[in-house]
Structure 1
Amino acid sequence: MTETLSVVPGAEPFSHDGGPDGVLLSHGFTGSPASMTPWARFLAERGHTVRVPRLPGHGTTWQEMNSTRWDDWYATVDAALSELKERCERVAVGGLSMGGAIALRLAEVRPRDVDALVLVNPAIGVKNWQLKLVPALKWLVPAMPGIGNDIKKPGEDEIGYDKTPLKALASQVHGWRDVCGDLGKVTAPLLVFRSTDDHVVDPTGLALIRAGVSSTVTEYVTLENSYHVATLDHDAPLIFERSAAFIAEHARTAHG
């Protein structure tokens, strides 16, 4: 990248300085912080210090995103975690879709720094034969139709792209390998929300997480009235309330 493009209004990162309990939230692939901001505001109003970084290449153009990779996205969230750890006594990490994969990776690589995990429809693998073609297709076409705004509730917008940039997608799929391979390193208390009707992510990832993590505290909540971007959907209040309670109960005792 030679130039950073202007950010679409509403897709800006969110930051709030509150008390000693920090929460780091990551949005998903081709999405933007807009999908997490209501959740972030809810937690901020309850006294938390909250960060929602904008992943590189998101919230601008899909063409710019196609010049970014998994390592860029992970590095941005990793840096935000380091900043929160300097400021806060405890930090919970949450993520939507690919943001869930990034959150899991942080818990694998930095287990002492992640005091609780909250995942919403995490994407760490899907059973889609088309994904096998992406490594070749990315050299032939720049993008495919988008996957954004899978939201049941009318009038909501995650401010994502209407295209799926293939070089970026190939990088995400490659990043899943590391996440899945190290799931046993996840020991943080874990709360997972899963929509029964999700048009983006199938149950593959949830099964991998259930079988793979080493967390002694695990809670799985089914969302009956939301699609993929559940943080903006009908079940958002449930996500906000349950996650706040989970963080309050388990982040304080995660590392003694």
Structure 2
Amino acid sequence: MPVLAGAEPFSHTDSTEVGVLLCHGFTGSPASLRPWGEYLAQQGFTVRCPRLPGHGTTWQECNRTRWPDWYGCVDTELTELTAICESVFVFGLSMGGTLALRLAQQRGDAVAGLVLVNPSVLTLRTDAKLLPLLARVLPSVKGLGGDIAKPGVTELAYARTPVKATESLSRLWKIVRQDLPRVTQPLLLLHSVVDHIVEPVNSKVIAEGVRSTEFEEVLLRDSYHVATLDNDAPLIFERSAEFVRTVRQVGAR
């Protein structure tokens, strides 16, 4: 399946000390994280951002994938990064944050820390309860991409949302919510005050559910959902790099 221009995975190998695994969101692509990855590479970190299966091509292909496919992709990347770098951090946007949390739950000390931007673990939409039924009869609905406050900025994402894949995502949400107490790694949580895709309650549930003793929460007041491409992107980039250095310094004591 041809990959959309700009949706290709990317990597920068600059360090054997610090590696960062970037996980993009549902129906999105690595394009949403490329500026972040370039900034982190400039800081001297090794960076990997894979293209999740079914993403960056067509929504029809995405409908043929399920959450174990997406998780398997980032799990493999984490394994490869841990073979190269002393410490590996996992950063995620939206569903990428969901996958990052699952990696922390499953891989333990292999994850040195988490940076989550508008992560999702649930939805309050009433029609979500109908997903198991809708997935049998409805291929797709209107897309969710492009929730950005900054004028003139667009997101490379599908115009349609694949329903079968969405139903699978909801199953991942349930698993990750149940296992939130297993997350003990240092965590930086950044979330938008106004987000038209992921409700604010998601960050509240995560903050109250994890057992990270090193935990910091940052409000993004000038961005919508795709904050890594929005007005607060410089703040996200700077705070995430600072977070990595702080965690490394604490661990060295």
Name the TM-score class by shorter chain: over 0.9
Q: Aligned letter for 2:3?
A: V
Q: Decide whether aligned partners of structure 1 residues 129 and 113 sit closer, same or farther in structure 2, where only a CA change above 3 A counts.
A: same
- Corresponding residue for 2:11? 15
Give the Cα separation in 1 of the matches to 2:252 and 2:101.
17
**Deviation (angstroms), 1:252:** 5.0
In the aligned structure 2, how far is the partner of 1:230 from the partner of 1:250? 23
CA deviation profile, 1:180-213 (whole Å, cap 9, x unmatched): 0111010110001110110000022111111110
Structure 1 stretch displaced more, 41-50 or 204-213: 204-213
TM-score, length basis structure 2: 0.97
Give how far 1:157 is off: 2.5
Q: Counterpart in 2 of 1:154?
A: 151
Q: Distance in 1 between matches of 2:12 and 2:213?
A: 31
| Pair 1:114–1:251, CA change in 2 (3 A) | farther
Judged with a 3 Å threshold, the aligned counterparts in structure 2 of structure 1 residues 179 and 251 are, in CA distance, closer, same or farther, namely farther
Give the whole-Å Cα distance in 2 for the aligned partners of 1:234 and 1:31.
19
User: Are positions 1:52 and 2:49 aligned together?
Assistant: yes
Partner of 2:167: 170
Q: 1:26, 1:190 → 2: CA distance?
A: 15
Q: CA RMSD in A?
A: 1.1
**Take 2:149 and 2:248, find their aligned partners in 1: how far apart are those partners?**
31
Q: Matched residues, percent identical?
A: 54
Alpha-carbon distance between aligned partners in 2 of 1:80 and 1:123, rounded to the nearest angstrom = 21
Deviations 1:47-75 (A, max 9, x none): 10000000000000000000001000000
Query: Do the aligned partners of 1:115 and 1:255 also contact (CA within 8 Å) in 2?
Result: no
Amino acid at match of 1:16: H
Instruction: Identify if the C-alpha distance between structure 1 residues 130 and 254 changes in structure 2 by more than 3 Å, giving closer, same or farther.
Output: farther
User: Structure 1 residues 187 and 231, CA, compared in 2 at 3 Å: closer, same or farther?
Assistant: same
More displaced 10-residue stretch of structure 1: 153-162 or 163-172 = 153-162
Report what 2:76 is aligned to: 79
The number of equivalent residue pairs is 252
Go from structure 1 to structure 2 and tell me whether the alpha carbon gap of 1:80 and 1:255 turns closer, same or farther (over 3 Å shift): farther
Partner of residue 139, structure 1: 136
The answer to whether the 8 Å contact 1:150/1:228 transfers is yes
The Cα offsets for residues 144-166 of structure 1, whole Å up to 9 and x where unpaired, read as 10100101112223210011100
Q: CA 1:249 to 1:198, structure 2 compared with 1: closer, same or farther past 3 Å?
A: same
Distance 1:150 1:76 in 2: 26
Q: Is the 8 A contact 1:188 1:254 kept in 2?
A: no
Q: What is the aligned partner in structure 1 of residue 119 from structure 2?
A: 122
Unaligned runs of 5+ in 1: none
| 1:89 matched residue in structure 2 | 86
Tell me whether 199-208 or 28-37 shows the greater mean CA deviation: 199-208
The equivalent residue for 1:241 is: 238
How far apart in 1 are the matches of 2:250 and 2:155? 33
Q: Shift of the alpha carbon at 1:254?
A: 4.8
Q: Aligned letter for 2:224?
A: Y
